Amino acid sequence: MRGYEDIINLPHPTSKKHPRMAAIDRAAQFSPFAALTGFDAAIEETARLTAGKIELHEDEREELDRRLRQALETGACVEITRFVPDSAKSGGSYETVTGSVAALDHVNRRVVLSSGTRIPVEDILDVIISEKIT
C-alpha cells in the first residue's frame, strides 16, 4: 500500500471546462437550512397565548344595555371593550372600540356604531360613556 508521498507535492488539479467555484458559493453549500419547513411558525403559534371569553351575569348585561341605550339617546361617545375570537385557535383577545352608537339592532343582537362597525352584544364586556359628540 502506498502513501501520499507520490502526490503530496503535485499541483491541485484544475478543470479546463469548468471554472472554479467562488469561495462564497462553496460556503453556501454548507450553510444551515430549515429541514422542517413551517416548524418554527408552528412552534410560535402554539406558544401564542389567547384569552378566554368572560361571561357576564344577567345584572351586568342589563347595566350594559342601559348604558348603550343612554349613549344612543344622548349621542355620547362610548368606549366598548369587546371579545374578538381568534381565527386559528380557541380563545381570543379583547379590544376597545371608540365611537358613537348609531343603532341597537335587537333582531341580530348587535350594536351598530356610527363608523359602521357592528358588534355582537354577547361579545361586549364593558361600555364606558365618555362624552357627548358635538
> Which CATH number applies to 58-132?
2.30.30.100
The pLDDT value given to residue 2: 67
> Going along 1-85, which residue ranges are E strands?
76-85
Nearest alpha-carbon partner for 82 in 125, 46, 50? 125
- The residue to which cell 386559528 is assigned: 88
pLDDT by residue (tens digit) across 4-42?
888 888 888 888 888 888 888 888 877 776 667 788 888
**105 burial class (0-12, 13-18, 19+ CB within 10 angstroms)?**
middle
pLDDT by residue (tens digit) across 88-109?
888 899 999 999 999 999 999 9
The pLDDT value given to residue 82: 96
